[in-house]
Structure 1
Amino acid sequence: MDISPLQTRLPAIRKWIDTTVEEHRPAARPLASFGFARLGHYFDAATLKRVSVIEVDVVPKPPLAALGLHQFADFEQLNGAGLTYGDVYFVVKARANDESLHFHELVHTIQWHNLGVDRFILAYALGHLAGGGYENNPLEEIAHTLEGIFTKEPRLFRVEPIVIQHLERVVPALMEAAGL
């Protein structure tokens, strides 16, 4: 799998992310301001404290096709309810009070936090390509799986260790498959 086009465009993607987050930062709210009662039973206090949330009409996505990364056009076309960039995530206003959406995006903040910007972008892109899109991306699969448990089952579990173990298992395999 040739990921050199993605690697050469990482600085442009990082710049777009940084610029977009900074442009929206005045509207950012601490996660605690939403008053969700259950998230503290699943996530460490440090995770919950470092996260900010920005409500928007449309979730901003990097202009990947304009950067020559046409293999991600389907990702760019997704009409998602949330998207995470580091310790900040965007949610559409209509779903801003949906605790399960915040749960899902919090999983991604843990992935970003543990992988760092470039490794997250590479791992997410490789998972997208290897899995055939959004739904089969291993970084999305774990977020959807844990969100499903949170939504449907009353049992408590700590999210961070599960996500970290998943990253330790999945990311090296993705990187190896790409020759990294």
Structure 2
Amino acid sequence: MESYIGSPLTSNAVRVLMLGGGELAKGLVGAFQNLGLEVHVVDRYEGSPAQQVAHFSYTADIDDEKAVLDLVEHVKPAYVVPEIEGVADEALQALHDDSAVTVVPTARACELTSDRKKLREVAESLGLPTTAYKVVETFDALKEAVNELGLPCIIKPDVATSGRGHVLVKDEDQLKDAWDNVRRGKKNSWVVAERFVD
């Protein structure tokens, strides 16, 4: 924190911009307000839980680099806190590299935790155990991966989504639907097939 915290809603306020406004963000808003910070929340839709309790709220596509950077320019926060995975990594990196704004957690941490492949590569490079998995780019490769990993298996999209978009496959007949559903609207052409752990 800065050595001096001004009063919210004044010119000397220390501002926090939350990128994402879910239930987790709602709790953080309260904590930041208890510290005397002025809290701004942006989400893709109006009326998110955190927007309802923040000092200021905005609606924008937080996966769009320009939208995030424009909002930072408007709000002039001391801190930017990504609350969801689907945030423009490029904007976070630009803020980290080129401005006085502090991104918490760091831009690199956000990039790693949102990308399933990079996260596993880092974990493995550190010698940390991971669930058995395969990254696949085609449906045929998915069938081979599931055959090797065994059923049940979880098929996950390229970008972490707090469990949304995951498909539990218990039978080989479910694979095609899983492939289609997990890839729908995602950034990359690959998915992760992961051994199910009870």
Q: Same fold (TM over 0.5)?
A: no
When the two structures are superposed, what TM-score results if normalisation uses the length of structure 2? 0.20
Larger Rg: 2
User: Which structure has more RCO (C-alpha within 8 Å, separation ≥ 6)?
Assistant: 1
Which is richer in helix?
Answer: 1
